[in-house]
Chains A and B, each alone.
Chain A
Amino acid sequence: MRRLVALLAAASSAGGSAHAKPPPARIAATVDTRTARLGQPTELALRLQVRPPHSPVRSISVRYPRGWNLATSGLGADECKRPASDFVAVLLDLPLDGLAGCPRNAIIARGRARAQVRIPGMTLPQTALLTLLAGPLERDQLRLVVLAEGINPFGLLLAFQGQLKPAAAPWAGTITLDIPQIAPSKLPYDGATFALVDVSLILADRRIVYHDPHGVRYHPPGIELPTRCPPHGWRFRADLHYLDGTRSTATTRLPCPRP
């Protein structure tokens, strides 16, 4: 087993609301067992599953534990700045297979997403490639940009915004992604809606290549694991908010790597 899969039976709970009980969500956090060592940099894979999506996910917040620090990872050596109008429109009228003008040094994660496109009378699966980029620092939070490149069946380039900000103990920080609905008139089918079902992101993915100020290519070292691991591993938590006002929470633990 290449990856150390965090507790599969990740706890999931629903938040209070008068609406229908939201579906269970699951989060998994994994590191590469072949290379991960305490005190050493590594890549971190996060996977979030929503099954079945009764209502489109409006926002996702993932909290990571104390001792984990993205700042010393060397990730986000540049800033992706997109106009605010991009995040209102969501759908960008830009060529696919690009970074929408953002620098490669701003990439902090790559991944994949699956969504359901609901058209009256049918539901289609949609897959997309994700790129998570660092934006500028504003009011003590790091802006994030997610570019989702639809690869099947619709070739669309979507832009979402997010934030990385400090979190109260026992957490170090929270990564939040806002997922507004796309205006139905902009979608290939009138009346279609998107509902996210699965998101996988690998932070500090080894395929990420940066250029230093002298133009030399290098891989950012990755997220340094803390030097100590708590007895039951590191805890991660995801909070999901849905369009109908409901919310759900999922937690998981990343087991300690071998010494």
Chain B
Amino acid sequence: MSTPIRRRTCTAVAGVVLAALAATVSPAAARTVDVVEHASLTLDRRDGTRLYESGRATGTLPGKVAAVFTVSPWSVTGTVTLLPNGGGTLTFSVNGKPSRRARGRTTFTGTMKVLTGTGRYAGARGKANFTGTVVMRTWAATVTARGRLTY
């Protein structure tokens, strides 16, 4: 009569042990977060059609930002590298276009996608839409990006 009870107990114990093992041995489950980032960038140098900019980001992943943009009258492409305060890096490809110019500022919109990540962001994936403005005298830019990141 006691056999079924003993079998159930053993099964339950095995389940707990397996769950504990899974929690300690397997890699951490990927987490997906909605990201809203605001970045302020200033021009470091210009090289032909390339603009090298850097600055700081606030929002979901605050930290430093470095960017290289290739600009034409009809497009903005390049890469943006985010260095969150908690470590690691995230590099995005950027594809956008200017939409409107007024009072010395150009507004632009586009999309960005994770190219690579390091540290805690190794293997990260995700994409975002962004809008921004750039002051054409100084090339200082402010950008807001909204998207989803899995890492």
Q: How many A-B residue pairs have CB under 8 A?
A: 83
From the candidates B73, B75, B104, name the one contacting A211 in the complex (CB within 8 A): B104
Q: How far is the CA of A72 from the CA of B139 in the complex (A)?
A: 9
Judging by beta carbons under 8 Å apart, are B73 and A224 in contact?
no
Known interface pairs A137-B98, A166-B72; A71-B103 also in contact (CB < 8 Å): no
The residue on A at minimum CB distance from B135 is: A213
- B46 close to A105 (CB less than 8 A): no
Mask, B86-124, CB within 8 Å of A = 1, is: 000000000001111111111000000000000000000
Q: Identify the closest chain A residue to B138 (Cβ).
A: A212
Contact of B72 among A39, A71, A76, A79 (CB under 8 A): A71
- Please determine whether B73 and A213 come into contact, CB atoms closer than 8 angstroms: no
**What residues of A have a CB within 8 angstroms of the CB of B103 in the complex?**
77-78, 103, 105, 211, 213
Give B46-93 interface residues, CB cut-off 8 Å to A.
46-49, 51, 71-75
Residue-wise interface mask of B (130-149) relative to A, using a CB-CB cutoff of 8 A (1 in contact, 0 not): 00000111100000000000
Cβ–Cβ contact B71 & A77, under 8 A: no
A173 lies within 8 A of B73 (CB): yes
CB interface residues, A 149-178, toward B, < 8 Å: 164-166, 173
Task: Please tell me if the beta carbons of B48 and A212 are within 8 angstroms of each other in the complex.
Answer: no
Roughly how many angstroms separate A72 CA and B138 CA in the complex, as a whole number? 11
- Known contacts: A67-B48, A212-B135, A224-B46. The answer to whether A166 contacts B104 by CB under 8 A is no
A79:B47 contact, CB within 8 angstroms: no
**Contact partner of B74 among A165, A212, A220, CB < 8 A?**
A165
Closest to A225 in B: B48
Contact A134 B135 (CB under 8 A): no
* Interface contact B101-A72, CB-CB below 8 Å: no
Q: Please state if B74 and A69 are interface contacts (CB–CB under 8 Å).
A: no
Pair A140/B74 contact, Cβ less than 8 Å: yes
CA of A223 to CA of B80, assembled, Å? 25
Closest to B105 in A: A213
Minimum CB–CB distance from A179 to chain B (whole Å) comes to 22
- Residue from A71, A106, A166 having most chain B Cβ neighbours under 10 A: A71
Chain A window 212-244, contacts with chain B (Cβ cutoff 8 Å), 1 for yes, 0 for no: 110010101000101100000000000000000
Out of B48, B99, B101, name the residue touching A224 (CB < 8 Å): B48
With A and B bound together, what is the CA distance between A136 and B98 in angstroms?
10
Is the beta-carbon distance between A142 and B48 smaller than 8 angstroms? Answer: no
**Taking the nearest CB of chain A, how far is it from the CB of B137, in angstroms?**
4
Q: Mark A26-47, 1 if CB is under 8 A from B, else 0.
A: 0000000000000100000000
B contact set with A: CB distance below 8 Å: 46-49, 51, 71-75, 97-106, 135-138
Interface residues of A (CB under 8 A from B): 39, 67, 69-72, 74, 76-79, 103, 105-106, 134, 136-137, 140-142, 164-166, 173, 210-213, 216, 218, 220, 224, 226-227
- Interchain residue pairs with CB less than 8 A apart (20): A67-B48, A71-B72, A72-B46, A77-B103, A77-B104, A77-B137, A78-B103, A79-B101, A103-B103, A137-B74, A137-B101, A142-B74, A164-B73, A165-B74, A166-B74, A173-B72, A173-B73, A210-B137, A211-B104, A227-B47
